[in-house]
Structure 1
Amino acid sequence: MLIFLYGPDTYRIQEKTEEIVAEYKKKYSSGLNLVEIDMSEKDISDLRAVTEVVSMFSEKKLIVLSYVFGVGSVEKELSGYFIDKKIIDDKDVVVVIKGDAGAGKSCLSVGRQDKKSKNKSDLQDFLTKNAKCQEFIYFNFLQLKKWVNGWLKKEGMEINERALSKLIDFIGNDLWQMKQELLKLSAFVLNCGNNIIGETDVESLVKPKVNVDIFLMVDSLARKDRITTMKLLRKHLEKGEEELYILNMFVYQFRNIIQMKDLADRGENEQDIAKKLKMHPYVLKKSFDQAKSFSLPELKKIYRMMLQADLCIKTGKVKPDTALDLLVMDITK
């Protein structure tokens, strides 16, 4: 039996793998027939040694394969081996294939590709047709809020709404980093005798995740360069990022620029602005440079357009991809 876990959200792929392994250990406590193979360090002979050896115990074998994509020879050997040894129909052998960080771009977006996509390898094509598949795309904004609240509830913690929105603005849908930030925030507020994470806690302890592409998109919007903006937008979507997350990145950066522009127009110098806004140094520099490309009324107009797009997506009035396209077209008129 083959199980194929794939998609851009590697945190949940790992979580699902651990869940499968835990269920296996409940049933077969010896763990003697549980094997994990990193195919970036091993080869097909290691898999053969595990699957073909006769076990002394009457229990199923569970084999977890990671980093199987990206090396053409390994991929070809694996798909051939699965067919030759009839692993698909073998009820005594369960092979879990993780489309993890080592899988490469083609695997991470396999669920979004056309069946005849040239980027799809023979192994991926074989697995999507013959394995039990589960795709893990990034959470959208509402799903991410639910996940964070759920994680905190298990730990006996809470977070207020403004703090949660800011945390998502800062980190996005990277659950690996999100978990680390939640652990840090929880430890801090508990040490202060509290169990509710507030907005000031997030601002003080969490550094925004710097996404270089968002600055490139803002630069192209400032130039009214619709074609470049659309290309960068498609690049994010092809990586599996949700439209609402991309919009949140826009909102976050334009909010930074508005604050920067407002203070600069009041005569504040760069050092004073840095002290007041407490931004990541790179974000501060880019925001300061980008603020020169817009007038304050223009920035406020764009910000209102973004909030309107956000509302249309969340209420279902406009499809997310359409809302983003219309937003870019309106800004680059």
Structure 2
Amino acid sequence: MSYQVVMKQIKAGNPLPVMVFYGEERFLMDWSLEQLEIAVIGKENLAFNRIRLDGKTCTEAEIVDQCETFSFFAQKKMVIVDDYEALTTKGKGKLARLEAYAAAPASETILIFLYREGKPDGRKACVKTIKKNGGILEFARIDRKALMGWITKRVQAGKCRITPDAMEALISMTGYLDRNSEWTLYDMENEVNKLLDYGDRKRWITLEEVEAVGIRGLENDVFRMVDAITRNQPKLVFLLVHDLLESGEAVEKILYMIARQFRLLALAKLHLAKGYGPSELAKRMKVQPFVAKRLVAQATPVTQKALDTHLEQCIDADQAIKTGQDRNLTLEMLLAQLVSK
């Protein structure tokens, strides 16, 4: 992972002189940049030896000139260029001087191109030169193992520990690992901080506390919505869907998640009918134990026929939207059907 590459460079005392940072996980990108700044020039010298340029307005000459200027009161300096368009597909023309600099950079300067939007164009000669030296670093979303390690460290930094089921609940409720999830580690950090601020800080964070804090995530909100449907609580159902719509969630995505939840419940119901408990159900459905327990609790009071009917209603609503029906109205009509007795 890119942040690990940066940390290895720092520990070795030899960070690459020219690097490109890009990717979805801005938290790790910002954290890596901060660690580099501290290691290379120190907090006390940031005002003198950290140059920040706007990549949408600065020129190639400005970048190279800044890199070739001597540092003040420190052995090294850093030049950070934000969203430099010339290295992306939007850029036009050659970057002969910058390419030459990347091939033979100043020994006392660390040049970093930081992309919060877009990414470098690998076809450009300058990008190829940087890549040749290992300087293209993508900060991608992290996997389950890395996420669990990250959460553990954040919790320990707050003088707490977290139980395994609370960890699984936190990950599941936020939906960070879901395909197309828009959650970032900045969002995860906010949720961890909520848990650290909940009650006594010197303690274990439990499953009950994760549920009590009310973590917001699309998957968790849809679970609560379907739970309210199975309990015939229309006010809560419409409150949740309106909150999701106001937060910018697409109707199609909400509908997909509702149908997905009913599909999971229907499958869980079939397994329950065969006498399987939560542990066996988790293995057969390939879900986390925490999710399996929630599915069992939600599926138990509902009939198989009702679940099949709800799934058919979701399919009909999806078809209606695809054939031109009003999205919001179709979703509200579906929910009205789902909560009607």
TM-score (norm 1): 0.58
Counterpart residue number, 1:282? 244
Paired residues of 1:39 and 1:67 also in contact (CA < 8 A): yes
How far did residue 175 of structure 1 move? 0.5
Counterpart residue number, 1:136? 139
Matched, 1:4 2:4: no
Counterpart residue number, 1:84? 100
Paired residues of 2:50 and 2:78 also in contact (CA < 8 A): yes
205, 210, 219: which one pairs with 1:197?
205
Counterpart residue number, 1:221? none
Paired residues of 1:33 and 1:59 also in contact (CA < 8 A): no
Matched, 1:169 2:131: no
Matched, 1:271 2:248: no
Counterpart residue number, 2:196? 186
Q: Render the CA deviation track for 1:110-140: whole Å, top value 9, x for unaligned.
A: xxxxxxxxx7452544432244343332221
Q: Render the CA deviation track for 1:78-111: whole Å, top value 9, x for unaligned.
A: 843322335544312221222x322x1x55xxxx
Amino acid at match of 2:244: Y
What do you get for the CA RMSD once the two structures are aligned? 4.3
Which runs of 4 or more aligned residues in structure 1 lie more than 6 Å from their structure 2 counterparts after TM superposition?
Answer: 272-275
Paired residues of 2:226 and 2:258 also in contact (CA < 8 A): no
Paired residues, number: 250
208, 213, 220: which one pairs with 2:216?
208
Q: Distance in 2 between matches of 1:300 and 1:125?
A: 54
What SS does the aligned partner of 1:189 have? coil
Mark the structure with the bigger radius of gyration: 2
Counterpart residue number, 2:286? 309
What SS does the aligned partner of 1:3 have? strand
What SS does the aligned partner of 2:217 have? coil
Amino acid at match of 1:209: G
Matched, 1:151 2:121: no
Matched, 1:160 2:129: no
How far did residue 153 of structure 1 move? 0.7
Q: Distance in 2 between matches of 1:258 and 1:300?
A: 15
Q: Distance in 2 between matches of 1:307 and 1:69?
A: 49
* CA spacing shift, 1:8–1:293, aligned 2, 3 Å: closer
Q: Distance in 2 between matches of 1:79 and 1:38?
A: 17
How far did residue 12 of structure 1 move? 0.6
TM-score (norm 2): 0.57
Q: Distance in 2 between matches of 1:179 and 1:272?
A: 28
* CA spacing shift, 1:292–1:59, aligned 2, 3 Å: closer
How far did residue 2 of structure 1 move? 0.8
* CA spacing shift, 1:84–1:120, aligned 2, 3 Å: closer
Q: Distance in 2 between matches of 1:310 and 1:292?
A: 13
- Show structure 1 runs of 5+ residues with no match: 108-118, 211-248, 312-333
Paired residues of 1:66 and 1:97 also in contact (CA < 8 A): yes
Q: Whose RCO is larger (CA < 8 A, sep 6+)?
A: 1
* CA spacing shift, 1:299–1:20, aligned 2, 3 Å: same
Paired residues of 2:60 and 2:98 also in contact (CA < 8 A): no
Paired residues of 1:185 and 1:202 also in contact (CA < 8 A): yes
Amino acid at match of 1:204: A
1:100-119 mapped onto 2 (5 Å cutoff)? 100-102=115-117, 104=118, 106-107=119-120
Q: Render the CA deviation track for 1:231-254: whole Å, top value 9, x for unaligned.
A: xxxxxxxxxxxxxxxxxx6xx688
Amino acid at match of 2:206: G
What SS does the aligned partner of 1:11 have? helix
Q: Render the CA deviation track for 1:285-307: whole Å, top value 9, x for unaligned.
A: 94796389759544545995885
Paired residues of 2:20 and 2:137 also in contact (CA < 8 A): yes
- Show structure 2 runs of 5+ residues with no match: 1-16, 177-182, 246-250, 273-280, 289-341
Counterpart residue number, 1:65? 81
Paired residues of 1:39 and 1:66 also in contact (CA < 8 A): yes
Paired residues of 1:189 and 1:196 also in contact (CA < 8 A): no
Q: Render the CA deviation track for 1:185-227: whole Å, top value 9, x for unaligned.
A: 212223xx753323333233344233xxxxxxxxxxxxxxxxx
Q: Render the CA deviation track for 1:156-204: whole Å, top value 9, x for unaligned.
A: 01222222212112221620111112122212223xx753323333233
Aligned-residue identity in percent: 14
Amino acid at match of 1:170: M
* CA spacing shift, 1:256–1:17, aligned 2, 3 Å: same
Amino acid at match of 2:213: L
